[in-house]
Chains A and B, each alone.
Chain A
Amino acid sequence: MLSKRIIACLDVRNGRVVKGVQFVDLVDAGDPAELAKRHATAGADEIVLLDITATHEGRGTLLDTVRRTAKELFIPFTVGGGIRSAEEAAAVFDAGADKVSINSAAIAHPELIDAIGRSFGAQAVIVAIDARRVAAQPVDEAEVFVSGGRTRTGRRVIEWAREAEARGAGEILLTSMDADGTRAGFDCELTAMVSEAVEIPVIASGGAGSAEHFAQVFQAGKAHAALAASIFHFGIADARALKQELAQLGVAMRLPC
């Protein structure tokens, strides 16, 4: 049986892992290569490294950090942040990433999804969607934001997810900006809406604070994978402890010994 994936996410700025609450108040949490290896050893199913400041500061992805992190990592490794062209994606793959996550650049140039997919396969392209809901509006009105959540696009999440899939994205990484950093739980309604709208797997992100939150997003939220960042960094739980709790809650988990 296909297990649900727990993905450890490293938000990286200037080569260091940081984690903010609703995209502000960044706190230093360590070295990416060291943390990635620690998460993999503890049973994380994948690692995502997001260079969170790349877009608005106009910097390229930190290839050196990617290379160092990939070196002894033998689980899937995704890199995102500031990838604007197929050439930049190629450099990230060359440095050791298995997948790239594209966000702002995909909105600006949707054909980038097709281009990376053609060269590296659909499985290598994750389209990241930062979603925000408008109070009192139905969930399908949720809107796509870009540039680290700074800029609204006027596009509806559900339509953009369908377009990304049609263009050949392999997975959708859906972040609820309303829930992100709150540790109050994922937005299950939003996640279920997107998961039902597309055939490709949806990775839920934003709001993890407890094992129950993960169980909810896998069950009610119909997510195939979920991203966790701060839940691991500050000793709340490691992947193993989280997965053991989830297995007890009836969620299919890979539990390496």
Chain B
Amino acid sequence: MIPVTVIDYKAGNLTSVVKALKYLDAEVTVTDQAEEVRAASRVILPGVGHFAATSRLDETGITDALREVIARGVPFLGICVGMQWLLTGSVEATGQPGLGYFQGWCQRFPEGSEKVPHVGWDHILTRTSPAPRLFAGVEQDEFVYYTHSYYVPTTILREGALSLENPIAASTKYIATFAAAVEHENVMGVQFHPEKSSAAGLRVLKNFLEFRC
């Protein structure tokens, strides 16, 4: 069984994520304690709801703990707001900084021709070269389940050793083309809900559980 630590920051419901991980035979620890996060060998930061709720990560010391484990190479997966939090910040709560692992700001879909929030099954285009490890075995154009009003732009950057790198692993087009998933070394994120995305979503979670640096 693969141990995985799921962070509970009191924003929304963790039942579905935990259920999917257990279905994949993971050994799941749910915690709101920085010390447990520091000891984790694999971390998932879920999140539905408001970006401002991530202030709890700062208050509990989990932000600092996550910086440490990420620097140590521990595989990290952010889901929905958990992925958005990897950015500099979000226009949803400009006073609340994100982790700043990626440079860029989360944006809101403009209202107009299409409904906001973006709710339902939409397809993803995965990067072809290099193929993202998170999507091994997932068909190109596969459908995944979304529910969000804010999105990660495809223009975000990560300062690499020699140059600025674009971490977009998959994208979806809805009003704007946005990041469906990011992947940079041990740091990954998905805007969609893999725990609700049927077989394709379970495959993404399985790939994360089996991820080796």
Contacts and interface: CB of A to CB of B under 8 A. Distances in A.
B117 A74 contact: no
A256 B116 contact: no
B119 interface: yes
Contacts of A95: 15
Interface stretch (B29-37, B84-92, B159-167, B197-205): B197-205
13 contacts: A1-B173, A2-B118, A3-B120, A3-B143, A40-B198, A71-B19, A74-B20, A75-B145, A76-B196, A93-B13, A95-B15, A96-B16, A256-B143
B38 interface: no
A93 B48 CA distance: 13
Contact of A201 (B11, B111, B115, B143): B115
A71 to B, nearest CB: 7
The 9 closest A-B pairs by CB, nearest first: A121-B49, A123-B147, A254-B143, A121-B48, A254-B121, A93-B13, A2-B122, A3-B121, A201-B119
B196 A75 contact: yes
B198 A74 contact: yes
A9 B49 CA distance: 26
A117 B121 CA distance: 22
A203 B147 CA distance: 15
A11 interface: no
A112 to B, nearest CB: 17
Contacts of A72: 23
A124 B174 contact: no
A83 to B, nearest CB: 14
B48 A123 contact: yes
A71 B11 CA distance: 22
A5 interface: yes
Given A74-B197, A75-B196, A120 B12 contact: yes
Contact of A200 (B117, B174, B201): B117
Interface in B69-93: none
A52 interface: no
B123 interface: yes
Contacts of B123: 1
B48 A5 contact: no
Given A71-B19, A74-B197, A75-B196, A170 B12 contact: no
Contacts of B111: 199
A171 interface: yes
**Which secondary structure dominates where chain A touches chain B?**
loop
B120 to A, nearest CB: 5
B8 interface: no
Contacts of B197: 74-75
A121 B147 CA distance: 10
Interface string A1-25: 1111100000000000000000000
Nearest to A95: B15
A40 B196 CA distance: 11
A96 B118 contact: no
B114 to A, nearest CB: 8
Contact of A70 (B19, B48, B117, B202): B19
Contacts of A120: 12-13, 48-49
A74 B195 contact: yes
A74 B202 contact: yes
Interface in A210-242: 224-225
B117 A123 contact: yes
Interface string B139-162: 000010101100000000000000
A123 B119 contact: yes
A243 to B, nearest CB: 11
B19 A98 contact: no
A168 to B, nearest CB: 11
Nearest to B121: A254
Contacts of A199: 111, 115-116
A140 interface: no
Given A120-B13, A170-B147, A3 B122 contact: yes
B15 A96 contact: yes
A5 B12 contact: no
Interface string B39-62: 000000000111000000000000
